[in-house]
Structure 1
Amino acid sequence: MKTILLATILVLAPAGMASAADVNETLPVAAGYDWSGLYAGVHFGYVAGKSNLFIGGAGIGGTDVNAAFDPDGFIGGIHIGVNQELANRFVLGAEADLAYGNVDAVGTFAGAGALLSSELKWSGSARLRAGYAFDRTLPYISAGVAAAKYEMSVVSSGPLGTVTIHDETHLGWTVGAGVEHAFTDKWIARVEYRYSDFGKEDLSVPIFGLGTVSNIDLKTHDLRVGLSYKF
């Protein structure tokens, strides 16, 4: 009897194992999240800037003037981009963004009896991105070109009142890093940091006569959060 039972087990075991394997092969396997595709969204954040107004000494009794400003404030804007996820989970993409806000500063114009006010009117960028996908979470880095409209005015109590001495578009570069998480197949949240150097531009209005070298630069640190919709 024991011999018959043992023989029956030996005969049925391979068939049972084969049946289990067949069942496993037919069960659906959950696919990982695919980051490839077009997306667009909105973002909000805080900007802390550094700016310096330089006026050569030829216009002010042989003494150079360096007036430092720290414009800061909140911004909001839109972004649009596209991603392509590779077989090794690396994600490459490109993105453009535009932001407006209330980023400004006020300082004293030493020796001129006036105040200087500066304001970042808008900023934008076009960047390449690269990241590595941990299923629905994507840490990434980005870099590209950046532009900003920067304005500076002299505010006095005299008859001239407020005079705009700079109203130009600065062109520079930006780098950053962030992380995104797809909490549904379509909606993606993000947080990112960006550093931008918008370069140096000459003043629009020479305020101390011909031949005076005068310019202003702008650098910003941005911390942004955003929400995107993947098409």
Structure 2
Amino acid sequence: MKKRVIIAAAACCFATPAFAEDGDWTGAYVGVSAGYNVSNSKSATTLSGNWSAETAGRRDFVIANSAAKQSVKDANYGVQAGFNAQIGEIFVLGAEADFALLGGRTSYNRSATYAPGAPTAPTTYTFENRIDPKASYAVKGKLGIAIDKTLIYATGGWGWTRAELGADISSSANYKKASKLNHTFNGYVVGGGIEHKFAQNISARIDYTYTDQGNTTYQTSYVTGSAFQSPAYGETIRQDLKMHQVRVGMNFHF
């Protein structure tokens, strides 16, 4: 009986340092991730130039109908790298950079007729808004609580998203305008997640981030064949981008 107790105690002594080592989060890491991305974008139009010569009713009609709310929902996949420093028994400070390719795009099309009444003939307008997110990347700080091999953490930092934007307007009176912009948005990122070590150097995690990427402005241009000539009428598009990302990942720790 005594022999069994001594063997069990010795086993615990040897196992404890190994377990503690597995649960130590200090060090660098690299990994891969994949998940689901929701990109929300709102756009609004400001009129200028010869639009001032049109009636207030027509201007309000064009402004109201050219506004758009769009959402792109698709997969994302990428890589991350960072460094953690465990302070004391439970607290972990860290920094991380990540990059992700974003799938999906959307195009919002609609037509509406402005009919002020005689003697002015009705005019049908067609509007199109597009957004195509391409890639996102971010640098973030990390604050976490380690419970042995599990790390619960919050993150915050700055992110960038490269996207292609567009807005077109045309009418039955042969008014044709179009725009296209490749733009890199930027704004704050906040989020959090949970990570678990399955071995000393291998962990898996799931995390969520929200980023407000701010907004940008761009102008439409006349399309060949339009009955109007630049710069008679002008439209300025103001468009923003906000994103939600959920990702699962695997990390290799050094």
TM-score bracket, shorter-length normalisation: 0.7 to 0.9
**Map of 1:76-155 to 2, 5 A cutoff?**
76-111=77-112, 112-154=125-167
**What RMSD over aligned residues (CA atoms) do the two structures have, in Å?**
3.0
Is the contact made by 1:109 and 1:116 (CA closer than 8 Å) also made in structure 2? no
Amino acid at match of 2:98: D
Q: Offset of 1:62 from its aligned partner? A: 2.6
Q: Is the counterpart of residue 224 in structure 1 residue 247 in structure 2?
A: yes
Q: Offset of 1:28 from its aligned partner? A: 3.9
Corresponding residue pairs, total: 208
Q: Is the counterpart of residue 62 in structure 1 residue 59 in structure 2?
A: yes
Amino acid at match of 2:252: Y
Structure 1 unaligned blocks of 5 or more: 1-19
Amino acid at match of 2:211: S
Which of the pair has the greater relative contact order for Cα pairs under 8 Å at 6+ separation?
A: 2
Structure 1 distance, partners of 2:85, 2:145, is 11
Q: Which runs of 4+ in 1 moved over 6 A?
A: none
Structure 2 unaligned blocks of 5 or more: 1-5, 52-57, 113-124, 171-175, 223-230
- Give the aligned partner of residue 41 of structure 2: 51
Cα deviation digits, residues 120-165 of structure 1 (max 9, x gap): 01111100001000010001000000100111235799xxx99652
Structure 1 distance, partners of 2:105, 2:91, is 39
Structure 1 distance, partners of 2:177, 2:82, is 40
Q: Which has the larger radius of gyration?
A: 1
SS of the counterpart of 1:133? Answer: strand
1:37 equivalent among 1, 15, 27: 27
Is the contact made by 1:48 and 1:222 (CA closer than 8 Å) also made in structure 2? yes
Is the contact made by 2:39 and 2:241 (CA closer than 8 Å) also made in structure 1? yes
SS of the counterpart of 1:103? Answer: coil
- Give the aligned partner of residue 189 of structure 1: 204
Q: Offset of 1:228 from its aligned partner? A: 0.6
- Return the TM-score normalized by structure 2: 0.72
Amino acid at match of 1:141: A
Is the contact made by 1:165 and 1:207 (CA closer than 8 Å) also made in structure 2? no
- Return the TM-score normalized by structure 1: 0.79
Amino acid at match of 1:37: G
Cα deviation digits, residues 157-186 of structure 1 (max 9, x gap): 9xxx99652211001011001000010001
Is the contact made by 2:167 and 2:220 (CA closer than 8 Å) also made in structure 1? no
* Residues 137 and 220 (structure 1), Cα distance of their counterparts in 2 relative to 1, 3 Å cut: same
